[in-house]
C-alpha cells in the first residue's frame, strides 16, 4: 500500500514539474500522447 502511495506522489511531482517547466512542452505533448493511448486501450 505504501508503495502505491509513494508511486502516486512521484507521478504527481513529475506531472507538476513538467507542467510548470515552459521549456518541456515536448514532454507535455509526449505525456498527452501516452494518456491518449491509455484511453484508447481502455476502450
Q: Is 21 helix (H, G, I), strand (E, B) or coil?
A: coil
Output the tens digit of pLDDT for each of the chain's 43 residues. Answer: 799 999 999 999 988 887 776 665 567 778 788 888 888 776 6
Residue 11 is predicted with a pLDDT of 93
Full-model pTM? 0.41
Q: CA distances (Å), 27 to each of 20, 30, 37, 39, 43, in order?
A: 11, 5, 15, 18, 25
Predicted confidence at residue 7, as pLDDT, reads 92
For residue 10, the model assigns a pLDDT of 93
Amino acid at each position: 500500500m505504501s508503495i502505491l502511495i509513494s508511486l502516486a506522489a512521484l507521478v504527481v511531482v513529475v506531472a507538476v514539474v513538467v507542467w510548470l517547466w515552459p521549456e518541456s512542452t515536448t514532454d507535455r505533448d509526449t505525456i498527452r500522447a501516452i494518456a491518449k493511448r491509455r484511453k484508447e486501450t481502455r476502450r
